[in-house]
Chain A
Amino acid sequence: AQTVTQSQPEMSVQEAETVTLSCTYDTSESNYYLFWYKQPPSRQMILVIRQEAYKQQNATENRFSVNFQKAAKSFSLKISDSQLGDTAMYFCAFMKHVQGNKLVFGAGTILRVKS
């Protein structure tokens, strides 16, 4: 079974600075997807970024980028130029590369952006 570990329960960052959230996972699969989801106080789950395991290039979406280390099974999220609206719970998630499959989530990291 796959497991996802987020070792940082809480993080804080000053507005406009950069912060990195950690995620490691365990799997015997060779092909899979990794995701970061954001859950603001509204509790809506919002997809932040996605990485396909077969792609060596790290995914980037505006201020959000990942550092994907397949051999180390590590998938960290970097948020640049942090904004107050980035304050949320962030979940790392894993999915096997199978049509229609479940997401396996980590426990989450609460990120607080301070002004």
Chain B
Amino acid sequence: NAGVMQNPRHLVRRRGQEARLRCSPMKGHSHVYWYRQLPEEGLKFMVYLQKENIIDESGMPKERFSAEFPKEGPSILRIQQVVRGDSAAYFCASSPPGAESYEQYFGPGTRLTVT
């Protein structure tokens, strides 16, 4: 059973460009979470999604950031018009439905660098 997959692992964007980060959850997992880790800091929750639904986006910046988890395909975190402050590691985690949904499995992360 493959783990959580994220791509790309490294992404370089110039200021003003768009960044698209992809996350494929583990097989059988229906919950996806995105976290951001700024340099020298802990992970901060951004958004929690289930298939075709955003459940909790309380950690998402109000502008330029959006996330989706379509019926088919990976979850996408999209950052429009990137700025230098968006440079960070973005981690995706997934969990199964039901009683074991507390168990979150993390992907390897995408390191975004904005130049």
Question: Which residues of A are in contact with B by a Cβ distance under 8 Å?
Answer: 33, 37, 42-47, 50, 91, 95, 97, 99-108
- Whole-angstrom CA separation of A102 from B35 in the bound complex: 9
For the side of the interface on B, what is the size category? Answer: 20 to 34
Find out whether the CB atom of A102 lies under 8 angstroms from the CB atom of B43: no
A99 contacts B98, CB within 8 Å?
A: yes
Q: Mark B56-84, 1 if CB is under 8 A from A, else 0.
A: 10010000000000000000000000000
Give the shortest distance, in Å, between A54 (CB) and chain B (any CB): 12
Find A100's partner among B43, B44, B48, B109 (CB 8 Å cutoff). B48
Q: Inter-chain contact count A-B, CB under 8 Å?
A: 60
List residues of chain B with CB under 8 Å of any chain A CB.
31, 33, 35, 41-45, 48, 50, 55-56, 59, 89, 91, 93, 95, 97-99, 101-106, 108-109, 111
For the residues of A in contact with B, the DSSP-based class is loop
Asked if B108 and A103 make an inter-chain contact with CB atoms under 8 angstroms apart, the answer reads: no
Q: In the complex the two chains form, is A103's CB within 8 Å of B104's CB? A: yes
**CB proximity of A101 to chain B, nearest CB, Å:** 7
Instruction: Assess whether A43 is in contact with B89, with CB atoms less than 8 Å apart.
Output: yes
